[in-house]
Amino acid sequence: MSDPINRCPIQLTENGQLRHFLTTEGLPRELLTEILDTADSFVDMSAQQVKKVPLLRGKTVVNLFFEASTRTLSTFELAAKRLSADVLNLNISTSSTKKGETLKDTLMTMRAMHSDMFVVRHSDSGAAHFIAEQVTPDVAVINAGDGRHAHPTQAMLDMLTIRRHKGQFEGLKVAIVGDILHSRVARSQIHALRILGAEEIRVIAPQTLLPRHIESLGAKVYTDMNSGLRDVDVVMMLRLQKERMDSALLPSESEFYKLYGLTRDKLAFAKPDAIVMHPGPINRGVEIESAVADGERSVILDQVTNGIAVRMAVMSMAMSGQLAEKNRAQPDIDNLNL
Amino acid sequence: MLSGTLSVEALLEKISAETRAQIIQRDIENPLMIGIRTGGAWIAERLHQDLDLETPLGVLDISFYRDDFTQVGLNPKVQPSQLPCPVEGRHILLVDDVVMTGRTIRAALNELFDYGRPASVMLITLLDLQRRELPIQADVVGGTLALGPDQSIKLSGPDPLTLTIRQRD
């Protein structure tokens, strides 16, 4: 493990609090559990008439999206607004050849505007980590997807969805199906599932869409749907990354569907109470049959709801860690709960 | 100087009787009792039993509403607030174990109003520690206590409930 972006001590304060959220890899189980617990409280906030808490009031959150995404951007925006932050959305094209220089200039400009948090999406692996290095300690950075590396908030909203449906991770068999090769989501999911103690993590994909050495992350590899889905508790489908597909890794979408599309017939191999997940947007008839996507075992819309709660949790925790660092020198705070 | 433990039972009896009297005096029907987590929720649980209230007890976690977030950050043990029914138009009996600066109560009121507009809010506390920093007063008080500048008090529970005065080092 010599890859610096995979170790990421920069994510935590000296006291072990979250200050940036760049990857799920290497984080302690307690911290992931704390994210899920905090997110649970935000899910239940939906009972409020005013669906807003004042935690980030007066803070400025900038969504720096170097790669287009409507869904992720809007849930991050909504999460920040429900925390009462002021939000700025920037869609920045990466077409420029002087990418590094442009990026740095953008960061310095944003920092000069006294932003408190950057939510970063970028097509290059390691971009969020690079940005965090530039702006620590002034700005907290949340990774909203970097290249093929990580998409930690997506993984955590999946974890929240699993926990809310299954109660715990111990004893669970989880299958991740589809384009593992190009999927930052899959990587973050595998790390999170392993840290949280899932019993068995399987990846199911054609040989051409499997990264080499995926087993070293702790996942069992299957190239056949029926045997891979046998007795699993959770089926996590991935979107076919058409825009990331370089060349002829697949014969055709219809053949992919025939072999790896989640149909009712194939789902029958999973446990009768297995849940079906998909990060969206769904390619109906490519990765998943409509009857399954809309079926009673599908929790796809819960994932969307939980996504906002998880992003609120991560944003408030990172801001909290950030502020704690700044205030560490301050005296006794015992007993403020009165 | 004060030290040691205080009898919670005697204080509970007192606030229970006074709350009952207040409910009658204000002509309140079917109030909704809400305890502030954690100490206030324990006290509220006992009061709720004593008064034999019809509507189930609510619990408020004010972690997301604290005004010291920028100084102390997020409480890592935050749990969902649980209100059994809408607060809109209801008479609320808000319970906390102690009231000191008034900041917790301010946060609780803010959160409460994000759930709706109650008809009234009555504040009940076991102990008033004075040292107020905001214009907030309890309607029912078990006792008043003036702690020394380096003393603090902690309610442990839920069974048994004990109040311990601690000397800070």
B139-155 pLDDT, tens digit per residue, is 999 999 998 888 889 89
pLDDT for position B2: 56
Axis crossing angle, helix A300-327 with helix A70-82, rounded to the nearest 10: 50
Query: Are residues A157 and A292 located together in one domain of the fold?
Result: yes
Query: Are residues A192 and A118 located together in one domain of the fold?
Result: no
Q: How many CB pairs under 8 A join A and B?
A: 80
Angle at Cα A41 formed by Cα A39 and Cα A44, nearest 5°? 110
State what percent of residues in chain B have pLDDT above 90.
72
Q: Is A197 annotated as a binding residue?
A: no
Query: Are residues A42 and A147 located together in one domain of the fold?
Result: yes
Question: What is the average pLDDT score of chain A?
Answer: 88
Query: Are residues A135 and A13 located together in one domain of the fold?
Result: yes
Q: Is A281 annotated as a binding residue?
A: yes
Instruction: Show Cβ contacts of residue B5 under 8 Å, excluding neighbours closer than 6 positions.
Output: B162, B163, B164, B165
- B133 interaction partners in chain A (CB closer than 8 Å): none
Reduce the DSSP state of residue B145 to 3 states and report it.
coil
In terms of DSSP bridges, do strands A200-204 and A173-177 run parallel, antiparallel, or are they unpaired?
parallel
Lowest mean pLDDT among A311-315, B55-59, B73-77: B73-77
Identify the residue with better confidence: A253 or B53. B53
Query: Are residues A322 and A311 located together in one domain of the fold?
Result: yes
Phi, psi of A127, rounded to the nearest 5 degrees = -60, -45
Query: Are residues A141 and A204 located together in one domain of the fold?
Result: no
Find the mean pLDDT for residues B92-106: 96
A265-318 pLDDT, tens digit per residue, is 999 999 999 999 999 889 899 899 999 999 999 999 999 999 999 999 999 999
Q: Would you call B82 an interface residue with chain A, using a CB distance cutoff of 8 Å? A: yes
Residue B56 confidence class, pLDDT cut points 50, 70, 90: very high
* Cβ pair A287, A260 in contact under 8 A: yes
The conformation of residue B113, written as its DSSP 8-state character, comes to H
Q: Is A163 annotated as a binding residue?
A: no
Question: What is the average pLDDT score of chain B?
Answer: 91
Query: Are residues A200 and A286 located together in one domain of the fold?
Result: yes
In the block, tokens 């403020």 appear at A336
- Kindly report the three-state secondary structure assignment for every residue of chain A: CCCHHHHCHHHECCCCCECCECCCCCCCHHHHHHHHHHHHHHHHHHHCCCCCCCCCCCCEEEEEECCCCHHHHHHHHHHHHHCCCEEEEEECCCCCCCHHHHHHHHHHHHHHCCCCEEEEEECCCCHHHHHHHHHCCCCEEEEEEECCCECHHHHHHHHHHHHHHHCCCCCCEEEEECCCCCCHHHHHHHHHHHHHCCCEEEEECCHHHCCCCHHHHCCEEECCHHHHHCCCCEEEECCCCHHHCCCCCCCCHHHHHHHHCECHHHHCCCCCCCEEECCCCCCECCCECHHHHCCCCECHHHHHHHHHHHHHHHHHHHHHHHHHHHHCCCCCCCCCCC
Chain B contact probe: residue of A40, A59, A312, A337 with most B CBs at under 10 A:
A337
In the block, tokens 């702690």 appear at B147
Lowest mean pLDDT among A62-76, A320-334, B60-74: A320-334
Burial A46-74 (b: 16+ CB within 10 A, else e): eebeeeebbbbeebbbbbbbbbeeeebbe
Count Cα neighbours of A328 within 13 Å in the Cβ-side half-sphere.
8
Range of the domain at A131: 4-151+305-327
Residue in B with minimal Cα distance to A33: B76
Alpha carbon of B25: minimum distance to chain A alpha carbons (Å) = 29
Residue A329 confidence class, pLDDT cut points 50, 70, 90: very low
Query: Are residues A117 and A160 located together in one domain of the fold?
Result: no
Query: Are residues A282 and A180 located together in one domain of the fold?
Result: yes
Q: Would you call B114 an interface residue with chain A, using a CB distance cutoff of 8 Å? A: yes
In a domain, A115, yes or no: yes
Residue A335 confidence class, pLDDT cut points 50, 70, 90: very low
In a domain, A263, yes or no: yes
Q: Considering only CA atoms, which of B120, B91, B86 is closest in space to residue B30?
A: B91
In a domain, A336, yes or no: no
Is A50 in Cβ contact with B113 (below 8 Å)?
yes
Chain A contact probe: residue of B34, B62, B71, B74 with most A CBs at under 10 A:
B74
pLDDT for position A45: 82
- CATH number of residue A181's parent domain: 3.40.50.1370
Lowest mean pLDDT among A20-29, A163-172, A208-217, A223-232: A208-217
Q: Is A239 annotated as a binding residue?
A: yes
Rg over CA atoms, chain A: 20
* Total number of domains constituting chain A: 2
- B78 interaction partners in chain A (CB closer than 8 Å): 37-38, 41
CATH number listed for the domain at residues B4-167: 3.40.50.2020
- B35 interaction partners in chain A (CB closer than 8 Å): none
From the list A52, A323, A333, the residue facing B70 with the nearest CB is A323
Strands of chain B (E only): list them: 4-6, 32-36, 58-60, 91-99, 120-128, 140-144, 151-156, 162-167
- Is a pLDDT exceeding 60 seen at residue A95? no
Find the mean pLDDT for residues A29-48: 91
Alpha carbon of A269: minimum distance to chain B alpha carbons (Å) = 37
Find the mean pLDDT for residues A15-44: 94
Q: Is A72 annotated as a binding residue?
A: yes
- A320 interaction partners in chain B (CB closer than 8 Å): 69, 73-74
Query: Are residues A228 and A178 located together in one domain of the fold?
Result: yes
The pTM of the full predicted model, rounded to 2 decimals, is 0.86
The residue type at A118: F
Residue in B with minimal Cα distance to A338: B100
Find the mean pLDDT for residues A148-167: 97
Query: Are residues A70 and A198 located together in one domain of the fold?
Result: no
In a domain, A310, yes or no: yes
Query: Are residues A80 and A161 located together in one domain of the fold?
Result: no
In terms of DSSP bridges, do strands A275-277 and A234-237 run parallel, antiparallel, or are they unpaired?
parallel
Instruction: Show Cβ contacts of residue B8 under 8 Å, excluding neighbours closer than 6 positions.
Output: B126, B155, B160, B161, B162, B163
Q: Considering only CA atoms, which of A131, A92, A96 is closest in space to residue A115?
A: A131
- Chain A contact residues (CB < 8 Å to B): 17, 34, 37-38, 40-41, 43-45, 47-50, 52-55, 316-317, 320-321, 323-324, 327, 330, 332-338
Lowest mean pLDDT among A39-53, A228-242, A283-297, B98-112: A39-53
Residue in B with minimal Cα distance to A47: B115
